[in-house]
Amino acid sequence: MALPQNDDVVLIAIGRFFGSYLPESVQNVLESWLQVKIQSVQSNQRQFPLLFVQHAHRFHNDLTQEMSRILRDEPSGCSRDLQGALSTAISNLHTTNPVLVYSALVTFLQSREIRLTFAASSTEHQVNELAVLAGDLVRMVVRSQRDDVAQGLIAELQGFVERAAITVQQIIAGDLSQWELQRNEQRDEAASANLLNTIQSWWELLWNALWRVRERILTVLALPSADGGTVPADLGQLLGQTNNLLATLTFAGFVVEKQPPQVMKTYTRYNVRIRHMMGSRLPYWMESFSTSIVSESQARDIQQSQMVHDQTSGNLTYEGGQLVRNEGSNQLEAIFRNLQITRIVRPERVQPVPVTDQKFALVFSHTFFIGDLRFAIWNVSYPVVVIVHCSQESQAWATIVWDGAFFTPNRALFEVANQVSWNVLGTMLNRRFVIHMERPLTAQNLQCLRAKAARGSNQDFVTRDQFYRENLPNRTFSFWSWFYAALKVTRDHLTNIWNDGHMIGFIERSHAEDILKESSPGTFLVRFSDSQLGGITIAYVSHNRQVRHIEPFTAVNGRNLAEYLVSKIRQLPQLKVVYPGTAKGQAFGRYYPSVGQRSYGYVPVIPDYGNFGEEEEQQHNSNGNVPEE
């Protein structure tokens, strides 16, 4: 979305906040004053509450005094209606809490779109004034006058570059980081795209402004002084600062908009898209970007040296890779189609490291000129784990999930902590579920997961070994493998049933038995099996108030697990009420086959009363495989 190019939008934005305090006619006469004041609004209420209160009272007093000044000093420009509106507004402000007014203004300005709107308007205004001043300077004939104007212009240029440097860091550390966070957490894609488009509009405006300022500096540098000497040396330093800001914007504006999948299988094709924020500024005829795959240590070397070397850890093939400008969206992007890894070179280590623990990355780089300035840009993708077989997928995702959830900002690529607090880990596991399903994990679910991850202890931290490297007690799989299988089967087969809230899912077997013992016969619950990856089991209360467990069933051989589960629940007479007290027809009825549904010649599903009880509990029913009912 493009930023507004006229003051009308700024005025409308101001009106959204001040409408309840200032009539529209008052807003019109205060527009210029408000735009200047808004640039200095302080939002550090929590860090410095006393200072915030001082700023609030100062803003309140300044606003009141400005309206009083207009009434006093500009009576000829005020109609009778405007004079009345100003008087009313002053009276209203006198009875309004200054902190309340200022806090509302801060909240209003926290909107990225509004903040960037004001910043863009202010920047354009400043650059236009500098251009006028520089034009006056060029047209001057008398050298003494020229030097006086030059000194004033130098001071103005210095102030602008200093403010621009602060703004650049705010956008990189704030707005661009926020976009990366949204993308990393797989939030609303439309909102993420809109944010990036807004950032690009501001990015181009700031880059163009700095380029125009650079031209003004060069103009002054080309002018001799009155005594035949040279223009002050600090102007050359200012030119260097401006060039550095342009380089920073050019480098940081290069993003990997569509990352490669973080688990990449060799000889499997993927699409990757890179983009530059300066869509209308960069030469679109640039050659293809250089692309390679590097190991974790090679990526760290690039980060430390800030240079892309010739090192590589494999071979890539792809189509495309040239920068293309989309004239409709003004986006400058390069798409790598059908990208695949045809060879991977594993790093040599003193101690062997599992393939699924080894992290790589794709590196994109290019060098080009704009005018007389040379720019070298590069970016490193998120870490990827390269596998050669689908059986490695679960463990590979464990490495990626741990890395993505627990890395620290500005880390050395791709270092990550070896242990994290359960609160942080539990939040991450819940987020993994919410990404795919609407209903989050319950406190009961998280309690179950904590007990498994921490091996039954109440320790506050969980190690990476406990998370995915070591097997669970008496099992042949790790905590992550068990959780990942449950997530996958829910995502692929049971999303609607999960979201309905009638499937508990993560609950320990002993806990399920404890809560069912207090329930009436026929009460049951659906949970994930402890003993079988991706397995679903049903625990229920028998007629003699014993808790039984149906042998787990999975989505094997293309089985539709949701239909199979519902058919079991519908057809088994032992199952009557979903815990804690919902009739099974009310909970699962919408999934029953409709009346008169054709069977297409197949024999209808009949209840299977065999194999009740998980593998380790198959002898639980003393009366054989058929339950007593």
The per-residue pLDDT for range 448-457, each reduced to its tens digit, is 999 999 988 7
Could you tell me if 467 and 416 are in contact, meaning their C-beta atoms sit under 8 angstroms apart? no
Could you tell me if 467 and 480 are in contact, meaning their C-beta atoms sit under 8 angstroms apart? yes
Residue 615: its pLDDT value, please? 35
Q: How far apart are CA 512 and CA 539, in angstroms?
A: 7
Q: How far apart are CA 157 and CA 232, in angstroms?
A: 13
- Least confident residue range of 202-206, 536-540, 606-610: 606-610
Question: Residue 193 is which amino acid?
Answer: A
Residue 21: its pLDDT value, please? 65
Mean pLDDT score across all residues of the chain: 79
Residue 285 has pLDDT above 80, yes or no: no
Q: How far apart are CA 56 and CA 105, in angstroms?
A: 10
Residue 116: its pLDDT value, please? 56
Q: How far apart are CA 142 and CA 523, in angstroms?
A: 98
Q: How far apart are CA 334 and CA 272, in angstroms?
A: 8
Strands 582-583, 577-578: pairing is antiparallel
- Least confident residue range of 71-80, 257-266, 510-519: 71-80
Confidence of residue 440 (pLDDT cuts 50, 70, 90): very high
Confidence of residue 46 (pLDDT cuts 50, 70, 90): very low
Residue 352: its pLDDT value, please? 78
Confidence of residue 265 (pLDDT cuts 50, 70, 90): very high
Residue 166: its pLDDT value, please? 80
Residue 360 has pLDDT above 60, yes or no: yes
Residue 74: its pLDDT value, please? 73
Q: Which domains does the chain have, with CATH numbers?
A: 114-223+232-253 (1.20.1050.20), 259-389 (2.60.40.630), 419-591 (3.30.505.10)
Confidence of residue 67 (pLDDT cuts 50, 70, 90): confident
Residue of 19, 18, 94 whose CA lies nearest to 60: 94
Q: How far apart are CA 513 and CA 510, in angstroms?
A: 5
Residue 313 has pLDDT above 90, yes or no: yes
pLDDT digits (tens, 9 = 90+) for 487-536: 999 999 999 999 999 999 999 999 999 999 989 999 999 999 999 999 99
Q: Taking residues 574-579, what's their average pLDDT?
A: 93
Question: Which of the listed ranges 93-102, 217-226, 429-438, 508-517 does the model predict with the highest average pLDDT?
Answer: 508-517
Residue 203: its pLDDT value, please? 85
Start-to-end CA span in the chain (Å): 65
Task: Name residues whose C-beta falls within 8 Å of residue 367's C-beta, 6 or more positions apart in sequence.
Answer: 374, 375, 376, 377
Helix (H, G, I), strand (E, B) or coil at 274: strand
Residue 136 has pLDDT above 90, yes or no: no
